[in-house]
Amino acid sequence: MQHDAAEVKSALWEAAETLRVPAVDTTDWKGYILCLLFFKCISDVWDEETTEAQGLYGQAETKCWH
């Protein structure tokens, strides 16, 4: 499913607003942010490794990872 930039921006702002409410202590933000950064890192590595493997071995007949 494709999302345009406005939808993504809106979703990110909503997430930021959720973190700004008093229910989330400012010291707890680092837990959320570090998890997001970790997920972004492993997602980028996955994409790089998948692209490299496809270059070496060709496109898989079945895409079991999607």
pLDDT given for residue 10 in this prediction:
92
**37 is written with which tokens?**
């950064």
pTM: 0.50
Q: Break the chain into its structural domains and give their ranges.
A: 5-58
Q: CB–CB of 32/19 below 8 Å?
A: yes
**Tens digit of pLDDT at every position of the chain (66 positions):** 567 888 999 999 988 887 776 666 777 777 888 899 999 999 999 999 999 998 888 877 666 665
Q: Give the CA distances from residue 28 to residues 9, 11, 14, 25, 37, in Å, rounded to whole numbers and listed in that order.
A: 23, 21, 18, 5, 15
